[in-house]
Amino acid sequence: MILAPLRGVTIRCFREVFADIIRETGFTEAVTPFIPAMAGSDPLKDRELRDPGSGIRDRGSGVRVTPQFIGKDPVALRECLEKVKAAGFETADLNAGCPYPMVRNKGRGSGLLRTPDVLRRMLEVGCEVMGAGKFSLKVRLGVDRSDELLGLMPIINEFPLRYLTVHARTARQMYEGKCDVERLREIEKLAKVPVVRNGDIPMPEVSGGRGQVSGVGCQASGIADGSRIMIGRGFVRWLGTREDCKELLERYIAASQVELFGDASVLGRMKELISYWKELPQWKRRWNVIKICRSIDELKSAC
């Protein structure tokens, strides 16, 4: 089980506050929300890489942290990967699946699926710098059609990737509509590397040791026991159903107050998280108050 990258949510502070639950649930790895790899920018500072109190490195969470990068410049990607490798990160991931129009229209994220030559160069750099079996790729089934990834599999199969994560929707779908499980199965048959399933994955039961997936919900979704899965939204929503949810939220607020400056920043982070719970019965009414809270005290009272 791999914790999916959710922008603004599954950040370092979140992974540390919820570290025990992440491990106990069965996650063995967390992919960071994407880091820009663009020419002329320097998103990775030495302190972010080496200091567990900031940036992307966790404080002894016991879960592998894999930095994910987004971009279309192989030179910029190389610079970023060399930095994370020198800092001791053994694995890295390329985002070729972000569905947001402002990203894909610039040729990044799922936009890479429209530029096979650029995708190939990015994969060449990733596998060269990180080494065989150390670089992974996260994609959608396509931008407009669910058969687009099928046409790119000969390119993807050229590289010794660690795994290929497939969110079984198109970029146009964003997070709406059903996942195309049949198309995903076709990809699994063609892929020469392990395929990690992503997109509407139910929270599974965990048995047979860490990371072993089983349970009725998974079987109903066509996920065999022991499959590799990546869960993000499902896990975050599940946190909102826990009996100790309020206590966990207070811990997250306290940790965020240490890291951020001012109520506004902390409130923004908490509202981003709680927005994943707003459809849960126990949070529907609370959300109407939470979304207009202007102070941490108001937020705590509303929860």
Q: Report which of residues 159 and 204 the model is more confident about.
A: 159
Give the CA-trace dihedral at 270, 272, 274, 280, to 10 degrees.
180
Please report, rounded to a whole number, the percentage of residues in the chain having pLDDT higher than 90.
77
pLDDT given for residue 201 in this prediction: 86
Q: How far is CA 243 from CA 36, 53, 67, in A?
A: 37, 29, 32
Buried residues in 162-184 as b, exposed as e (16+ CB within 10 A): bbbbbbbbbbbbeeeeebbeebb
The stretch 244-271 carries a mean pLDDT of 94
Residue pLDDT, tens place only, 263-290? 999 999 999 999 999 999 999 999 999 9
* Gyration radius of the chain over CA positions: 19
Residue 88 pLDDT level (bands cut at 50, 70, 90): confident
pLDDT given for residue 41 in this prediction: 60
Average pLDDT, the chain: 88
Residue 52 pLDDT level (bands cut at 50, 70, 90): very low
The stretch 15-32 carries a mean pLDDT of 92
Residue pLDDT, tens place only, 208-248? 334 444 443 444 445 555 578 999 999 999 999 999 999 99
Checking if the pLDDT of 3 tops 70, the result is: yes
DSSP the chain: -EEPP-TTTSSHHHHHHTHHHHHHHT--EEEPSPEE--TT-----HHHHH-TTSTT--SS-SSEEE-EEE-S-HHHHHHHHHHHHHTT---EEEEE----HHHHTTT-GGGGGG-HHHHHHHHHHHHHHH-TTSEEEEEEEESS-TTHHHHHHHHHTTS--S-EEEEEEETTTTT-S---HHHHHHHHHH-SS-EEEESSPPPPEE-SSTT-EE-HHHHHTTPPTT--EEESHHHHHHHTTSTTHHHHHHHHHHHHHHHSSSHHHHHHHHHHHHGGGTTSTTTHHHHHHHTT--SHHHHHHH-
Please report, rounded to a whole number, the percentage of residues in the chain having pLDDT higher than 70.
85
pLDDT given for residue 50 in this prediction: 47
pLDDT given for residue 224 in this prediction: 55
Residue pLDDT, tens place only, 112-129? 999 999 999 999 999 999
pLDDT given for residue 154 in this prediction: 97
The stretch 11-39 carries a mean pLDDT of 91
Whole-prediction pTM: 0.89
- Residue written as token pair 């569905």: 99
The stretch 18-24 carries a mean pLDDT of 92
Q: Report which of residues 61 and 109 the model is more confident about.
A: 109
Phi and psi at 234, nearest 5°, equal -65, -40
Residue 204 pLDDT level (bands cut at 50, 70, 90): low
